[in-house]
Amino acid sequence: MSRNTFALTTLALGAAYLLRNDKSRQKLKEQFRSLASPAKR
């Protein structure tokens, strides 16, 4: 299996998991929001 095919398969499986699992989807959204917001120190 080529490297590109493996990467696309992994991406597709991850997307399918997130579409089915609401808690994981919400957790991922919050992680992206925390990365996008300026650092608070």
pLDDT at 40: 59
Residue 41 has pLDDT above 60, yes or no: no
Do 28 and 18 meet the contact criterion of CB atoms below 8 Å apart? yes
- Can you give the pTM of this predicted structure? 0.53
Name the phi and psi angles at 4, rounded to 5. -65, -40
pLDDT tens figures, 9-39:
999 998 998 889 899 889 988 998 998 887 6
